[in-house]
Amino acid sequence: MSTAPNTYPRLLADIGGTNARFGLEVAPGQLESIKVLACQDFDTIVDAAKHYLKSIDNPSVAHAAFALANPVVGDWIQMTNHHWAFSVETTRQALKLTTLLAINDFTAQAYGISQLKDEELVQVGGTMCAIDAPKLVIGPGTGLGVSGLIPCHDGSYVALAGEGGHVSFAPFDNTEIMLWKYAKKKYGHVSAERFLSGSGLVLIHEALANREGIKVSNMTPELIGEQALSGKSALCRLTLDIFCTILGTVASNMALVLGARSGVYLCGGIIPRFLEYFKTSPFRVRFENKGRFDAYLATIPVYVVLAKYPGIYGVGIALENHLCKENV
């Protein structure tokens, strides 16, 4: 088996808090055999990777890259939202790889933005993208991921690696102050991710029900969404409205920090589930509600990303960049 930097196929994975998405890159940007595995079904990341490779007849792979919903600092990885913990180097050896690159999952999502087709994006407000300005990539899922793309002089972009989902939540109105107090009593520190995630949708509903003296149990993000959109529950509809307003606040905060005049890209599995509602939800009004900077934010387009696997494509770009640097 050749281990040269230009060797294919390459093993790519986008590993979130719930699912591990694996794919085989057989040529630059060409993915095959994409499969989604439930993280809870495997004791370790090595078990999941070996299961995937076995399911596609164990191809010879020298280079791999994993995008992880977790900070990537040093060799040891402790996943934030599930039980996997591992050494990158030990994992590389266990899988008999020459290269194993580990990066943050939203860094991969950011790189993947460059591969999207027009039909994989739905614009929600704003006008035209500014040229040569940063892009914000943000998305609620099992957690809240945040990254950005910073333009370089040669026309390329550098993707940021950060943990913006864990910034402190700043309430906007009395209802959000109530939510903050409820979450603080339960968790201590209240991050943006506490509300902008699947479990966050349930937490908002729980806090609202508590305020009204309503007992609820066994609520799920899917059930809240279904009852909100079908008109079966005014409380679920209010939950969804508040979720979108909080997302508007956090996205606009991040857009101001980055100066993201090239657009805001909403990734993750939650928003596409209620896309038609989201287009007319309170999100955009709150996104633009920034006092002296209303007009600045009003021009910034927001795109809902409909592509299924931008993270896998993005981690492939990161791996190619890494191998090129190693070969210089």
Name the binding residues for ATP: 13-18
* φ, ψ (nearest 5 deg) of residue 104: -65, 145
CA distances from 328 to 5, 62, 196, 323, 325 (A): 11, 19, 41, 9, 5
- Measured from the Cβ of residue 95, the count of other Cβ atoms closer than 10 Å reads 16
- Measured from the Cβ of residue 299, the count of other Cβ atoms closer than 10 Å reads 14
> Residue positions in the annotated binding site?
13-18
3-state class percentages of the chain: helix first, strand second, coil last, to nearest 5: 45, 20, 35
Q: How many residues does the chain have?
A: 328
**Residue 121: both structure tokens together:** 């994006």
Q: Within the chain, where are the H helices?
A: 45-55, 88-94, 105-113, 174-187, 198-212, 221-230, 234-258, 275-279, 283-287, 294-298, 310-326
Say how far apart CA 64 and CA 66 lie, in whole Å.
Answer: 7
